[in-house]
Amino acid sequence: MDNSDNTVSTKYWRHLDNDHTLCTLCPRFCELREGKRGVCYIRMAQGGEIVLTSYGRSSGFCIDPIEKKPLHHFLPGTPVLSFGTAGCNLTCAFCQNWDISKSRHMETLSASATPEQLAKMAEQTGCRSVAFTYNDPVIFMEYALDVAAACHARDIKTIAVTAGYINPEPRRDFFAGMDAANVDLKGFTESFYHRICGGHLAPVLDTLRYLKQETKVWFELTTLLIPGENDSAEELEAMCRWIADELGPDVPLHFTAFHPDFHMLDKPSTSMASLLQARDIAKAHGLHYVYVGNVHDVADGSTWCPSCGKLVIERDYYRLGSWAIHDGCCQHCGAKIAGVFENQPGTWGPKRLPVEIR
| Run of H or E including 212 | helix 202-214
DSSP secondary structure string for all residues of 68-108? GTT-SSBSTT-EEEEE--S--SS--TT-TTHHHHT---GGG
Distance CA 171, CA 344 (A): 33
Q: What is the number of other CB atoms lying within 10 angstroms of the CB of residue 321?
A: 12
pLDDT of residue 103: 47
pLDDT classification of 358: cutoffs 50, 70, 90: confident
pLDDT of residue 355: 94
DSSP secondary structure string for all residues of 233-249? HHHHHHHHHHHHHHT-T
Bridge-based pairing of strands 253-257 and 218-225 is: parallel
Name the nearest CA neighbour of 4 among 48, 58, 56: 56
Task: Express each pLDDT in 233-261 by its tens digit.
Answer: 999 999 999 999 999 999 999 999 998 87
C-alpha gyration radius of the chain: 20
User: Domain map of the chain by residue range?
Assistant: 8-52, 58-355
Distance CA 280, CA 16 (A): 50
Report the percentage of the chain scoring pLDDT > 70: 95
Long-range contacts (CB closer than 8 Å, 24 or more residues apart) made by 144-150: 144/174, 144/177, 145/173, 145/174, 145/177, 146/115, 147/115, 147/118, 147/119, 148/177, 148/178, 149/115, 149/177, 150/115, 150/116, 150/118, 150/119
Give bridge partners of residue 340 from the DSSP assignment: 74
CATH class of 58-355: alpha beta
Which residues are CB-neighbours of 245 under 8 A, at least 6 positions away?
Answer: none
| Run of H or E including 130 | strand 129-132
DSSP secondary structure string for all residues of 275-329? HHHHHHHHHHTT-S-EEEESS--HHHHSEE-TTT--EEEEEETTEEEEE-EETTE
Distance CA 113, CA 356 (A): 9
The pTM for the full model equals 0.95
Distance CA 352, CA 127 (A): 13
> What average pLDDT does the structure give for the chain?
93
Task: Express each pLDDT in 116-169 by its tens digit.
Answer: 999 999 999 999 999 999 899 999 999 999 999 999 999 999 999 999 999 999
DSSP tag of 194 = I
**Cβ atoms of residues 307 and 335 within 8 Å:** yes
pLDDT of residue 331: 98
Distance CA 156, CA 68 (A): 18
Name the nearest CA neighbour of 22 among 7, 8, 12: 12
pLDDT of residue 59: 81
The distance from CA 192 to its chain's CA centroid, rounded to whole angstroms, is 19
| Run of H or E including 131 | strand 129-132
Please indicate if the annotation marks 88 as binding a ligand. yes
Indicate if the alpha-carbon torsion angle 27, 32, 38, 43 is positive or negative: positive
Task: Express each pLDDT in 199-226 by its tens digit.
Answer: 999 999 999 999 999 999 999 999 999 9
